[in-house]
Chain A
Amino acid sequence: MKIPTDFISLGLNQEEPLVMHIDLNSCFATIEQQCNRFLRGRPIATAAYLSPRGCITAPSIEAKQFGVKTGMMVMEGKEKCPDLIIVPQNPPVYRDVHIRFKKIFMSYTNRVKPKSIDEVVINFKGSQVIKHKTMEQIGYEIKHRVKTEIGEWVRVNVGIAPNMFLAKTAAGLHKPDGLDTITHENVRKVYQSMELTDLDGIAERNAARLNAAGIYSPIQFLEAPVDKLKREAFHSINGFYWYCRLRGWEVDDYFSPRRTIGHTYALGRQTNNMEELSKLLMKLCEKVGRRLRGNDLTAGGIHVACVYVDSGYWHKGMKVGVRLYTTQEIYRFAMQTLQDNGPHRVVRNLFITVYDLDKFDPEQLSLFDGSKQDKRALSKALDSINDRWGEMTIIPAMMLGMENTIIDRIAFGSVKDTLDLYADDTF
């Protein structure tokens, strides 16, 4: 996109704030506390595995006060807070809450954009509801409805602003139960109370870039000319985007189509045994294949990666020259990639991603090679059996006995479609 030069003197966006950001605090842990009242008010954390090296996926608000953070190992969390209660993740209930959230928001407008399992952005531009209520009234009404329609322990932060960035910033001002509005009138005051790294999207690396350009606070960031941000801080178009974003102009409301489908597994029993790894790989391929076919897509490339126990990693991606659709097709190329360059050290995490996605286009039947069509038809038939009778009813023989090896999870990242939420469940 060519940068229009007349944007160089862009002021603060003075439009009415009609973007609302809503997020659920400590999402998984809060939902667990809603479901089990004996956990309320106590430091708890959800984890994919309860073992000492299991990863904490969400500490409760009470656990955060002890310094327990997402991504810590269970044993690290216990060191910070000896009374920490670790509970297993329960993805079906988190999905159920997400759906109820969405139902509440959709009753106001259809411009509801889930950013992840626990974050939603609602754009009220053009909505009829703002003719009768102020944005703050709607915000408080949503908070009330969340308590009555989902559960009394569930509290959400609401942020209102002219663009998505400032709405998220507003939602973070008074956790865990805040409602704040940022407009052109108070944006400077808000920035004055923040550090650079408090801004969403400014972590250590971006902060270092800004520091190198002589910018040490959000106010200095706001006052920096666009040229300085482009040429001295970010050395890219990102400088311009930040210039707009900080002033309340929308640059983040775009649709990015799905480009990859992937799945990861953290090995409970770490190994470099190729036979064991090949079984895990088959299950990952089956999960990826189900999502690929569920989206009616094929893939032209595959990427396999391993993280080793003794640090370091290996990865390789390649275009395969054919369109991948069935689990067997994915597995064949994934295995080939792994074997050619294979892990020679003990593996801690295994990743598989397919890319170069395209809509499934049934190829014309060949007189000489009907087998590919047969396999694809067979895959569809197997998928429909699993849809009808539940996941893993029919599985490749290689996966026998592995039903609970790669457990159901919810990704932290963006939600492109409902299949992301239900990728590993059977809803």
Chain B
Amino acid sequence: MYEDIDEKIDVIALFGRKHRDAKPFRIKWKGREYDVQTVDYVYRRKIGDKIMYYFCVTDGANWFELQFDSNDLGWQIHRVWNENPYRLH
């Protein structure tokens, strides 16, 4: 099941010149680092004047939805998927 998190995190990301896109590579959350292996979908949502980008990513074992606020350049973990709630690999 999905669990809403909405916590600020540190992210290492590459902002590409050619396709003008962004790809998160590593995230640090609650003192632990996760290497992003797949980016399965990226979508954007406009909230008022703000544009939020959402990255659906995995590290191979865990699924995260990351939120990037283009207004303040801040990253958050928006949601996680827990096959077994309350346990993250």
Please report A residues at the B interface, Cβ cutoff 8 Å: 31, 34-38, 87-88, 92-93, 96-97, 151, 386-391, 393, 425-427
The verdict on B70 contacting chain A, using a C-beta distance below 8 Å, is no
CB atoms of B58 and A426 under 8 A apart: no
Please give me the residue from chain B that is nearest to A153 by CB atom.
Answer: B40
The verdict on B86 contacting chain A, using a C-beta distance below 8 Å, is no
Known A-B contacts: A36-B63, A38-B83, A390-B48. Give 5 more (CB < 8 A): A37-B38, A37-B40, A37-B58, A38-B63, A426-B46
CB atoms of B43 and A93 under 8 A apart: yes
Cα-based distance from A34 to B65 in the complex (angstroms): 13
CB atoms of A38 and B47 under 8 A apart: no
CB atoms of B81 and A36 under 8 A apart: yes
Cα-based distance from A237 to B82 in the complex (angstroms): 55
Q: List 6 A-B contacts (CB under 8 A).
A: A34-B41, A96-B43, A97-B43, A386-B48, A387-B49, A391-B47
Please give me the residue from chain B that is nearest to A389 by CB atom.
Answer: B48
The verdict on B29 contacting chain A, using a C-beta distance below 8 Å, is no
CB atoms of A151 and B45 under 8 A apart: no
With a cutoff of 8 Å between Cβ atoms, the chain A residues found around residue B2 in the complex are 87-88
A-contact 0/1 string along B34-64, CB 8 Å cutoff: 0000101101111111100010101000010
CB atoms of A393 and B48 under 8 A apart: yes
Nearest Cβ on chain A to B3's Cβ, whole angstroms: 11
**Chain A to chain B: the 7 pairs with minimum beta-carbon distance, closest first:** A390-B48, A96-B43, A35-B56, A389-B48, A92-B45, A390-B47, A35-B41
Nearest Cβ on chain A to B47's Cβ, whole angstroms: 4
With a cutoff of 8 Å between Cβ atoms, the chain B residues found around residue A427 in the complex are 45-46
With a cutoff of 8 Å between Cβ atoms, the chain A residues found around residue B63 in the complex are 36-38
CB atoms of B43 and A34 under 8 A apart: no
With a cutoff of 8 Å between Cβ atoms, the chain B residues found around residue A36 in the complex are 40, 56, 63, 81
Please report B residues at the A interface, Cβ cutoff 8 Å: 2, 38, 40-41, 43-50, 54, 56, 58, 63, 65, 81, 83
Cα-based distance from A31 to B2 in the complex (angstroms): 15
Cα-based distance from A97 to B58 in the complex (angstroms): 20
Which one of A34, A35, A388 lies within 8 Å of B48 (CB-CB)? A388
With a cutoff of 8 Å between Cβ atoms, the chain B residues found around residue A38 in the complex are 58, 63, 81, 83
With a cutoff of 8 Å between Cβ atoms, the chain B residues found around residue A386 in the complex are 48
Cα-based distance from A92 to B53 in the complex (angstroms): 11
With a cutoff of 8 Å between Cβ atoms, the chain A residues found around residue B40 in the complex are 34-37, 151
With a cutoff of 8 Å between Cβ atoms, the chain B residues found around residue A426 in the complex are 45-48
Please give me the residue from chain A that is nearest to B42 by CB atom.
Answer: A96
With a cutoff of 8 Å between Cβ atoms, the chain A residues found around residue B47 in the complex are 390-391, 426
CB atoms of A388 and B45 under 8 A apart: no
Please give me the residue from chain A that is nearest to B43 by CB atom.
Answer: A96
Cα-based distance from A390 to B71 in the complex (angstroms): 14
Cα-based distance from A38 to B43 in the complex (angstroms): 19
With a cutoff of 8 Å between Cβ atoms, the chain A residues found around residue B81 in the complex are 36, 38
Please give me the residue from chain A that is nearest to B44 by CB atom.
Answer: A96
Cα-based distance from A6 to B54 in the complex (angstroms): 58
With a cutoff of 8 Å between Cβ atoms, the chain B residues found around residue A391 in the complex are 47-48
With a cutoff of 8 Å between Cβ atoms, the chain B residues found around residue A390 in the complex are 47-48, 50
With a cutoff of 8 Å between Cβ atoms, the chain A residues found around residue B45 in the complex are 92, 96, 425-427
CB atoms of A92 and B48 under 8 A apart: no
Cα-based distance from A93 to B56 in the complex (angstroms): 11
Nearest Cβ on chain B to A402's Cβ, whole angstroms: 18
CB atoms of B48 and A151 under 8 A apart: no
Most central of A34, A35, A87, A151 by chain B CB within 10 Å? A35
Nearest Cβ on chain B to A395's Cβ, whole angstroms: 14
Nearest Cβ on chain A to B38's Cβ, whole angstroms: 7
Cα-based distance from A37 to B63 in the complex (angstroms): 8
Nearest Cβ on chain B to A252's Cβ, whole angstroms: 32
Cα-based distance from A425 to B43 in the complex (angstroms): 14
Nearest Cβ on chain B to A80's Cβ, whole angstroms: 20
Nearest Cβ on chain B to A111's Cβ, whole angstroms: 27
With a cutoff of 8 Å between Cβ atoms, the chain A residues found around residue B44 in the complex are 96
Cα-based distance from A97 to B83 in the complex (angstroms): 25
Nearest Cβ on chain B to A26's Cβ, whole angstroms: 16
Please give me the residue from chain A that is nearest to B50 by CB atom.
Answer: A390
With a cutoff of 8 Å between Cβ atoms, the chain A residues found around residue B56 in the complex are 35-36
CB atoms of A93 and B46 under 8 A apart: no
Cα-based distance from A393 to B47 in the complex (angstroms): 11
With a cutoff of 8 Å between Cβ atoms, the chain A residues found around residue B65 in the complex are 35
Nearest Cβ on chain B to A262's Cβ, whole angstroms: 24
CB atoms of B50 and A151 under 8 A apart: no
